[in-house]
Amino acid sequence: MNEENIKKMDFEQALKSLEMVVNELEDENISLEDAMEKFEQGIKFSSYCLKKLNEAEKKIEELTRSEDGKLIARELRIKED
């Protein structure tokens, strides 16, 4: 699968595809060539999933209460390593 097709997936689809690749790689009867191809696909799915998680993390908002008791949504500041 090429990167353009992967970019059209949502996170859950990409994660499921990554899980399928891992299962295929765990098969003892897979040839070296097939294993290398699957490994490359797995790296693409993994990178895409990580990117989506990072994007989601940046959008997380923290709900807090103001002094008068109203809920306020503000961007959660996350320290980056």
Mean pLDDT by 10 residues, the chain (81 residues): 89 96 94 96 96 82 72 69 56
Structural domain boundaries enclosing 36: 3-75
In a domain, 25, yes or no: yes
In a domain, 81, yes or no: no
DSSP state of 76: P
In a domain, 37, yes or no: yes
What is the CA 59 to chain-centroid distance, rounded?
Answer: 15
**pLDDT at position 16, please?**
97
CATH assignment of the domain containing 20: 1.10.287
- What is this structure's pTM? 0.72
- The pair phi, psi for residue 2, each rounded to 5°, is -85, 165
Tally of structural domains, the chain: 1
Q: Residue 69: left (phi > 0), alpha (psi -120 to 50), or beta?
A: left
Q: Count CB neighbours of 42 within 10 A.
A: 18
In a domain, 67, yes or no: yes
In a domain, 80, yes or no: no
**pLDDT at position 23, please?**
96
**pLDDT at position 56, please?**
82
In a domain, 20, yes or no: yes
Give the separation between CA 36 and CA 43, rounded to whole angstroms.
11
User: Coil, strand, or helix at residue 27?
Assistant: coil
